[in-house]
Structure formats: C-alpha cells, structure tokens
Amino acid sequence: MHHVLIVDDEPWIRSSLEKRVTSASELAVVSEAAPNGRKALEWLELHHADICITDVRMPVMDGLELIRLINERFPWMVCIVVSSYDDFQYARESIHHGAIDYILKPIEQEVLNAALGKAIAELTRRRYHEAYQRVVRLLPHHRPMMERWVKQVQAYQLETMPLMVVDTLEMLESWADGAFYLLIPLSMVWLNLVCEELRRDKFDATLDEGTDSAIGEKTLPKERERSYFRLCAVRRLEEGALRLFGAAKEVIDHPARKVVEEIKRYVERHYAEKLSLQDIADVAEMSRNYSAGLFKQETGMTVWNYLVAVRMRKARELLLGTSMKVYEIAGEVGYENVVYFSQLFKEHFGMNPGEYKKRMEA
C-alpha cells in the first residue's frame, strides 16, 4: 500500500483528488495537511509518503521548488504534477525537475489512473533494482540463511518456519540500513532467489505480493515507519514460505520424489564417508542403475555430482566459519587428497579455498 500526499492551495481540489485517487487503487491518501509546498515539506519531515501529487502554482512555495526539494530530501518518492492549461509550459518544466508525469485540469479519471499506474510502476522498478543490488552484494556473506530456507522447505519443516522468518527479517533489516521501505522489495527479491534455488529440484511455486491494505493507516508517522514496513515484510515472507512449503508437499507426495528425498537425506548424513552406488541403492531399495537413473531424471544431476555439491557446501561452511586448515577441511568432508579437494573446490566456486576465504572476508 503506497502512501500519497496531495498538495494544493484549494481545499476542495485536495478533497476531490483524494476521492479520485482512493477510488483508483489501494492507496493511502492524505490531502488535508498540505496547502502549499512549505507545509508539505513540514509534513514529510514527520511522516512517510511514496507519491506526491502537487499543483504548480501555490503561495509560499510553488510546485517546482517542492519537487526539487523532495528529490533532494526524500529521493525514494516520485511526484506527479497537476496544472491548468494556462500553466501547461510550467507543468512541462516540472518534468525537468524530476516529476514523473503531469495531469491537466479538468482532471479525467482515466488520465489520473494512468499517471498513478506509471508512478507505482516506477517506484516498484527503482526499489526492486536497489534491493536486488544490495542482495547481490551481501548474499555471499549470508549463504547459510539461503541454505537454511532451502533445507527446511525441502524437508517440509513447517514448525520451524516462524523462527526462520524472524531471523530472515532481522537480516534483511540490516541490509536495508535504515531505508525501511526497502524491506518490501528485499523480501520479494529474497523469496524469488529461494524459488530459483528450489527450482533446481523441480519445485514449482508462484509468488504473489498480495496487499498490505489491512496493515497500515492512512497516515504513517516516522515513529511507526519501521514497525509498518517490518509487518509488510513479515507478511510477504510468511505467505511466500507457505507457498513454498505447499509446493514441497506436492513434490514429497510424489512417489519418485520420495525416493530422491531419501537419497538426498542419506547423502546429507553420510557425505563424509566413502559412499558407493550400492549403499545408495540399499537406501532406495532398488537396483543401482535404476536408483541412479531416477535421481538423474528427477534432479538433473548425478548422485555423485550431488554428493560433491553437498561436500563443497559443507567445506565452505567450515572454511568461512572456523579456523580449520584446508587439509583438515578436506578430511572432514570426505577427501584424503587435499590437492584433489582443492581442484574440486575451484571447479565448484571458481577459485581455490584460500582465494575464496580472502574474497569473502574482504
């Protein structure tokens, strides 16, 4: 739910615009607080808004100066200008000051709807891009959380989902670094990345952001900004997790997938041991060739490649989370030959263990 501030020196215009905007989509609209640019800025110092709809000609501070200062002080916002035909050139000048669109009076509902749609689309694009850039930069230092999501969904550990969501929220808030509005796109980027990880195991889940209309109020004071966006993020994370767990249940209930999940669990428990295809066939209670073929068919990778992936993941955890030497880590994950281990590690992560540790701890 985006919050909209309407700025105009005519009370009846503000009231009319508020009704029109509210009827157009699920937006929280405030109009009584801003009869001019200066009052609008004073209000914005104490409240959160995503969109500003402003007239251009107003006493005390006009719309162009207001837009300039909003871009400077509240860069997460977008502005829409409303003007009369007499001010058409003035309105066009507002685009050069950063307004995303302008609407001419008398206002047509269809034109207003289009401008609001454009504003929301731009907000979504900007914020998702910024969130994605932060995730790409910070995710390598937080891979255990991603692996936690994947493991819990695959194992259908629904009872631990609430704690996982809370821990994820704390992580995402640290990534937002005070820009609380980014908690919403950060949550969606995170869930989409979890989906990508799970699709490798033939999980199929569609995520829908839903609506926050039942969470917030029409006005969002700064002191409630953090709690509001945390609630929005939690809703997304919880609903997204439930969708993923639902997809996991469908996969697990499939007979072939049950066999594959048994093999995966066995490998996860015994990855450090010397495993053979016969060991895995015994777990699956079927022939070696059939179990190996079934695993490849369902996952797109061989059992041995999966074993290597598990060992490399465990090795990375030890490399980044302990002070163990490389040869000690190699032995811990099932390799007696440290040179061979380092070669596999480089093939898997693109750099040898020493280089990887330096890069991740830089």
Radius of gyration of the chain (CA): 27
Structure tokens at 135: 């995730």
CA atoms of 276 and 283, how far apart (whole Å): 11
* Domain-terminating residue out of 199, 231, 253: 253
Distances 317 to 164, 329, 336 between C-alpha atoms, Å: 19, 10, 19
* Domain-terminating residue out of 236, 253, 270: 253
Q: What is the pLDDT of residue 25?
A: 74
Contact indicator for 125, 95 with CB cutoff of 8 Å = no
Q: Judge if 216 and 144 occupy the same domain.
A: yes
* Residue 119 counted as domain residue: no
pTM, full prediction? 0.70
Q: Judge if 259 and 239 occupy the same domain.
A: no
* pLDDT tens string 175-185: 999 999 999 99
Establish how many alpha carbons lie within 13 A of residue 222's alpha carbon, considering only the half-sphere containing its beta carbon: 9
199 against 72, higher pLDDT? 72
Distances 17 to 45, 55, 172, 244 between C-alpha atoms, Å: 23, 11, 36, 41
* Residue 214 counted as domain residue: yes
Phi, psi of 221 (to 5 degrees): -60, 150
Structure tokens at 283: 């777990």
pLDDT of residue 339 exceeding 70: yes
Q: Judge if 100 and 160 occupy the same domain.
A: no
pLDDT of residue 362 exceeding 60: no
Closest CA to 259 of 309, 227, 303: 303
Mean pLDDT across 342-350: 89
- DSSP characters for 104-127? ESSPPHHHHHHHHHHHHHHHHHHH
* Residue 149 counted as domain residue: yes
* Residue 118 counted as domain residue: no
Q: Mean pLDDT over all residues of the chain?
A: 87
The region that residue 175 occupies, defined by phi over 0 for left and psi between -120 and 50 for alpha, beta otherwise, is alpha
CATH number of the domain at 286, please.
1.10.10.60
Q: What is the pLDDT of residue 361?
A: 67
Q: What is the side-by-side strand order in the sheet with 51-55?
A: 27-30, 2-7, 51-55, 78-83, 101-104
Angle between helices 161-176 and 183-199 (to 10 degrees): 120
CA atoms of 54 and 37, how far apart (whole Å): 8
Structure tokens at 40: 């609008």
Mean pLDDT across 146-157: 88
Furthest-apart CA pair in the chain: how many Å?
Answer: 84
pLDDT band at 284 (very low <50, low <70, confident <90, very high): low
Contact indicator for 274, 310 with CB cutoff of 8 Å = no
What range does the domain containing 91 cover? 2-107
Mean pLDDT across 229-243: 91
Mean pLDDT across 234-263: 82
Q: What is the pLDDT of residue 49?
A: 95
CATH number of the domain at 58, please.
3.40.50.2300
Contact indicator for 286, 246 with CB cutoff of 8 Å = no
Q: Judge if 326 and 349 occupy the same domain.
A: yes
328 against 91, higher pLDDT? 328
Q: What is the pLDDT of residue 250?
A: 74
Q: Judge if 54 and 86 occupy the same domain.
A: yes
Structure tokens at 254: 């499939």
Contact indicator for 172, 183 with CB cutoff of 8 Å = yes
* Residue 16 counted as domain residue: yes
* Residue 155 counted as domain residue: yes
Place of tokens 């209670």: 285
CA atoms of 115 and 53, how far apart (whole Å): 10
Q: Judge if 97 and 131 occupy the same domain.
A: no
Q: Judge if 334 and 307 occupy the same domain.
A: yes
* Residue 112 counted as domain residue: no
* Residue 158 counted as domain residue: yes
CA atoms of 26 and 50, how far apart (whole Å): 13
pLDDT of residue 343 exceeding 90: yes
Place of tokens 């767990």: 245
Q: Judge if 205 and 87 occupy the same domain.
A: no
Structure tokens at 56: 């251009």
Contact indicator for 5, 44 with CB cutoff of 8 Å = yes
pLDDT of residue 204 exceeding 80: no
- Total number of domains in the chain: 3
Q: Judge if 170 and 130 occupy the same domain.
A: yes
CA atoms of 149 and 191, how far apart (whole Å): 10
Structure tokens at 202: 């033939």
Between β-strands 51-55 and 78-83, what pairing exists: parallel, antiparallel or unpaired? parallel
Q: Judge if 90 and 156 occupy the same domain.
A: no
pLDDT of residue 214 exceeding 80: no
pLDDT of residue 249 exceeding 80: no
* Domain-terminating residue out of 199, 219, 253: 253
Structure tokens at 214: 């039942």
Q: Judge if 211 and 93 occupy the same domain.
A: no
Q: Judge if 308 and 284 occupy the same domain.
A: yes
